[in-house]
């Protein structure tokens, strides 16, 4: 468990290996449209979307101890909500913010019912509610378009009334929009898990009973974690319609809920960067294996099983442990 | 009319056919260090669970500072000034020792909800946690994962978490269990100090009669879910029924 900055208090170093890696990564992401084509940008957007989806999921799972199998429901609310808003008023910010808030509202309503339970009962409830949202996406034809989904969603311009209006027609521009939004959301999540609220979530994960006897309503904080995860799932979903120009029911399917679970397990639940690294690996593995076999999910499954059985901390913890072993006596980040 | 710190009337709890607490009525007075003793299965821990909101009574009431708190959940009772430690160790094993003590300090200050503040910026809560770290003698272990501490140190830490909410009334369920004599003295010293400085009233459940008779000003003896005797240590020591049923030749 990442026990936060208080645990790692020590001599501050401006350029730590971790910070250098993050700086290098951001630089590489900024330069990507200059060196990569449309496909690379498209995949990078998908990675960023899954990163946000998995990051929110891990605030609920890795930090608070609640395993949700229904996050695709909120992902879909974000996607459908944003799509409907973009069809109503072609403004990217309006659609993305609106879709995110709608997902947060859905998480608040369903969360009140789900967080009354823990462990497998919580997981099953989230799965059931997730499937209800999938059914709505499939059957509420007038609103969702049913099987066909919503089509012809415009990649609306980024408008701030009276200030700026930037066309998002090119993939490159939309890529930069998604990158900025993602970096902001990742930064907020980082701040959050290292804040009093993040420590409270970790306290609930460690001992609910003890946490209640510090004077904290465990249920209320579980709900907060659930809504935050819902907002991140919603934001991830809201970035999808302008990319694909369409939203279809599979975004709400329970198999979509498995994506952030797999990404988080790949990267590691015990590190903040785990879900982000996991999302990247998820797409890399998929991209490589798909060239050899259409059954890429079987191979991904095998990799996850090996990681879970052999290296519970995922790739990030494994890499951190190796780094520390190579540089004994020096603290990583 | 005397207002007791805590008062129960007809408190009863059954588990199936077992009556764990059978209509207990008691009053706890501010500042009186009280010990609850009795054989295993006497209902001591169940009584504390009822008083601290971990269990809901079948019948009866609990009043704290005159307020009916019978249906108030645990966290609500903590906010009103109640706290406790557990018979089975209950700390945050994967957090550092400092973070274990930071959590009650944050909760007391209503800072848990702050989502974008850095932990280091919580100066008030950090100062409180550090003061407590020194008081319980775990300063040198402040950045150690709590689960890696020795049993005795974990017990001390749990006591620190319990008093970290600055309670007016604190129940300690076997606070000295498994401790060496030095650690035991630290616990007893801390209880005496906090009783005086912060006006915390302690109620302990303890099997070690040396601890009970050296520390308690009032002793409540329980047996079969009922209060068998209630009085000063001298009165309990002389009580024939208590000697026969529980103390035997111990005192």
Give the CA dihedral B113, B114, B119, B123, nearest 10 degrees.
-100
Q: Is residue A321 part of a domain?
A: yes
Query: What percent of chain A has pLDDT above 90?
Result: 48
- Domain membership of residue A149 (yes or no) is yes
Question: Looking at residue A15, what is its pLDDT?
Answer: 66
Per-residue pLDDT for A105 more than 90?
yes
Strand A246-247 relative to strand A150-151, pairing: antiparallel
Q: Which of A191, A207, A213 has the CB atom closest to B74's CB atom?
A: A213
Bridge partners (DSSP) listed for residue B6: B28, B64
**Residue B63 pLDDT:** 94
Q: How far apart are CA B153 and CA B138, in angstroms?
A: 7
A56-101 per-position pLDDT tens digit: 999 999 889 899 999 999 999 999 999 999 999 988 999 999 999 9
Number of domains in chain A: 1
Tokens, residue A109: 């309503």
Which tokens hold the place of A250?
Answer: 């599979």
Top pLDDT among A237 and A328 is at: A237
DSSP assignment letter at B246 = I
pLDDT at A12: 54
By a Cβ cutoff of 8 Å, what residues of chain A touch chain B?
1, 3-7, 9, 188, 191-192, 194-200, 202-203, 205-207, 209-218, 221, 224
Query: Considering only alpha carbons, which residue of chain B is nearest residue A192?
Result: B115
The answer to the question of residue A332 being in a domain is no
Residue A1 has pLDDT above 50, yes or no: no
- Give domain limits for chain B: 6-93+152-247
Residue B76's closest chain A neighbor by CA? A215
Here the CATH number for the domain that contains residue A106 is 1.10.3470
Cβ–Cβ below 8 Å for B92 and A202: yes
Mean pLDDT of chain B: 88
pLDDT band at A166 (very low <50, low <70, confident <90, very high): confident
Question: Nearest-CA residue of chain A relative to B122?
Answer: A196
- CA A6-A52-A246 angle, to 5 degrees, is 170
pLDDT tens digits, one per residue of A243-292: 999 999 999 888 888 889 989 988 888 888 889 998 998 888 888 888 88
Angle between helices B97-108 and B151-164 (to 10 degrees): 10
Q: Which candidate, A261, A262, A248, places its Cα nearest to that of A152? A: A248
Question: Which structure tokens are listed for B81?
Answer: 């000034």
**Residue B24 pLDDT class (50, 70, 90 cuts):** confident
pLDDT tens figures, B110-154: 888 888 889 888 889 999 999 999 988 889 999 999 999 988 889
**Measuring CA to CA, how many Å separate A122 from each of A104, A115, A128, B60, B183?**
18, 7, 10, 33, 41
Is the pLDDT score of B1 beyond 60? Answer: no
pLDDT tens for residues B62-105? 999 989 999 999 999 999 999 998 888 889 999 999 999 999 99
Q: Which long-range contacts (CB under 8 A, 24 or more apart) does B13-18 make?
A: B13/B43, B13/B46, B13/B50, B13/B55, B13/B57, B13/B58, B14/B58
Q: What is the DSSP string of B96-129?
A: BHHHHHHHHHHHHTT-TT-SSS-GGG-HHHHHHH
With helix as H, strand as E and coil as C, how does A150-175 read? Answer: EECCCCCCEEECCCEEECCCCHHHHH
Question: Has residue A331 been placed in a domain?
Answer: no
Structural domain for A139, as ranges: 4-326
Residues A120-164 have pLDDT tens digits of: 998 999 999 989 999 999 899 888 888 888 888 888 888 888 788
Residues A181, A185, A188: CA angle, nearest 5 degrees: 140
ipTM: 0.89
**Chain segment A22-51, per-residue pLDDT in tens:** 888 888 888 888 888 888 899 999 999 999
Helix, strand, coil proportions of chain A in percent (round to 5)?
75, 5, 25
- For B204-210, what is the mean pLDDT? 86
CA distances from A21 to A12, A188, A190 (A): 17, 19, 16
DSSP state of B200: P
- Set of chain B residues whose Cβ sits within 8 Å of the Cβ of A198: 115
Q: What whole-number distance in Å separates Cα of residue A19 and Cα of residue A23?
A: 6
Query: Is A3 in contact with B94 (Cβ distance < 8 A)?
Result: yes
Test the A interface: residue of B103, B117, B139 with most A CBs within 10 Å: B103
Which of A9, A194, A203 is closest, CB to CB, to B92? A203
Q: What is the structure's pLDDT at A3?
A: 44
Question: Could you tell me which residues are beta bridge partners of residue B226?
Answer: B223
Q: Are A227 and A192 in contact (CB under 8 A)?
A: no
Examine the pLDDT at B13 and tell me if it is beyond 90: yes
Q: Are B132 and B161 in contact (CB under 8 A)?
A: no
What per-residue confidence (pLDDT) applies to B104?
95
Substitution target from A187, A193, A196, A212 for chain B, most B beta carbons within 10 A: A196
pLDDT at residue B17 greater than cutoff 70: yes
Domain B6-93+152-247 CATH superfamily? P-loop containing nucleotide triphosphate hydrolases (3.40.50.300)
| Residue from A11, A194, A210, A220 to probe the interface with B (highest B Cβ count within 10 Å) | A210
Closest CA to A78 of A232, A259, A181, A255: A232
Q: Are A206 and B102 spatial neighbours (Cβ–Cβ below 8 Å)? A: no
Q: What is the mean pLDDT of chain A?
A: 87
Kind of pairing between the strands at B59-64 and A158-160:
unpaired
Q: Which two tokens stand for residue A49?
A: 């979307």
Tens digit of pLDDT for each residue in B140-198?
999 999 999 988 889 889 989 999 999 999 999 888 888 888 888 888 888 888 887 77
The DSSP secondary-structure symbol of B180 reads -
């Amino acid at each position: 468990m990442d026990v936060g900055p208080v645990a790692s208090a020590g001599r501050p170093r401006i350029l730590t290996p971790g910070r250098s890696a993050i700086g290098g990564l951001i630089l590489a992401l900024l330069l990507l449209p200059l060196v990569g084509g449309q496909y690379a940008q498209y995949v990078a957007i998908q990675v960023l979307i899954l990163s946000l989806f998995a990051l929110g999921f891990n605030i609920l799972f890795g930090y608070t101890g609640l395993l949700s199998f229904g996050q695709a429901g909120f992902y879909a609310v974000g996607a459908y909500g944003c799509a409907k808003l973009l069809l109503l008023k072609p403004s990217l910010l309006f659609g993305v913010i609106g879709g995110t808030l709608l997902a947060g509202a859905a998480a608040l309503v369903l969360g009140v019912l789900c967080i009354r339970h823990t462990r497998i009962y919580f997981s099953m409830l989230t799965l059931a509610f997730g499937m209800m949202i999938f059914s709505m996406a499939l059957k509420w034809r007038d609103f969702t378009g049913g099987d066909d989904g919503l089509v012809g969603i415009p990649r609306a311009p980024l408008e701030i009334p009276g200030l700026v209006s930037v066309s998002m027609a090119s993939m490159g521009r939309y890529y930069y929009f998604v990158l900025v939004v993602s970096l902001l959301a990742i930064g907020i999540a980082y701040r959050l898990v290292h804040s009093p609220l993040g420590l409270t979530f970790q306290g609930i994960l460690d001992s609910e009973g003890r946490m209640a006897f510090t004077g904290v309503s465990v249920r209320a904080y579980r709900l907060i974690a659930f809504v935050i995860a819902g907002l991140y799932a919603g934001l991830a979903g809201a970035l999808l319609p302008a990319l694909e120009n369409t939203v279809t029911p599979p975004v709400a399917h329970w198999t979509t809920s498995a994506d952030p679970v797999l990404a988080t397990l790949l990267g590691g639940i015990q590190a903040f960067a785990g879900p982000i690294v996991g999302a990247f690996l998820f797409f890399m593995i998929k991209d490589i294996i798909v060239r050899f076999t259409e059954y890429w999910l079987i191979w991904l499954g095998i990799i996850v099983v090996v990681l879970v059985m052999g290296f519970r901390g995922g790739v990030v913890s494994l890499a951190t442990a190796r780094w520390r072993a190579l540089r004994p006596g020096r603290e990583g980040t | 009319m005397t207002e007791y710190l805590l008062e129960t009337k007809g408190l009863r709890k059954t588990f199936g056919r077992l009556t764990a607490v059978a209509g207990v009525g008691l009053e706890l007075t501010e500042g009186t260090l009280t010990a609850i003793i009795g054989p295993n299965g006497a209902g001591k821990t169940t009584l504390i669970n009822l008083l601290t909101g971990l269990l809901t009574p079948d019948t009866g009431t609990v009043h704290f500072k005159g307020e009916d708190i019978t249906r108030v959940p645990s966290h609500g009772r903590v906010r009103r000034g109640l706290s406790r430690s557990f018979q089975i160790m209950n700390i945050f094993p994967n957090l550092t020792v400092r973070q274990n003590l930071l959590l009650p300090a944050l909760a007391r200050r209503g800072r848990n909800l702050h989502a974008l503040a850095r932990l280091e910026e919580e100066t008030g809560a950090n100062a409180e946690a550090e003061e407590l770290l020194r008081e319980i003698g775990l300063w040198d272990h402040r950045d150690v994962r709590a689960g890696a501490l020795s049993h005795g140190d974990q017990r001390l830490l749990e006591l620190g978490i319990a008093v970290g909410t600055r309670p007016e009334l604190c129940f300690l369920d076997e606070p000295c269990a498994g401790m060496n004599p030095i650690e035991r003295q630290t616990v007893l010293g801390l209880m005496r100090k906090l009783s005086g400085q912060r006006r915390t009233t302690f109620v302990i459940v303890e099997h070690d009669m040396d601890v009970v008779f050296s520390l308690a000003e009032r002793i409540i003896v329980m047996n079969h879910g009922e209060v068998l005797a209630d009085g000063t240590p001298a009165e309990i020591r002389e009580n024939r029924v208590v000697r026969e049923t529980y103390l035997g030749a111990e005192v």
